[in-house]
Amino acid sequence: MTLSELLPLVEQLSVSDKVKLMRILSEELDTNTNEDITPLEPFKIYDLPTPYNSFGAGEALMQALELADEKK
């Protein structure tokens, strides 16, 4: 079965079943794989953008919401 065949079935699952599926798949990857699939390098610093200190972000969001309401 291909991923494109599987995805529509997964989308029909309940949230709790999706979480269970994620746990099963992660455990299987953890125990059954010999490949190094870690996308992050140890001890490397990664930039993680957050909304903190993003002054004006709320105003920009409000403007976008108001514009969306006007278009309706």
Consecutive 10-residue averages of pLDDT for the chain (72 residues): 93 95 86 68 84 80 90 78
- Predicted pLDDT at 46: 84
CB 51 within 8 A of CB 57: yes
pTM of the model: 0.45
Dihedral of CA 5/9/15/20: which sign? negative
- Predicted pLDDT at 55: 78
Chain-centre distance for alpha carbon 21: 15
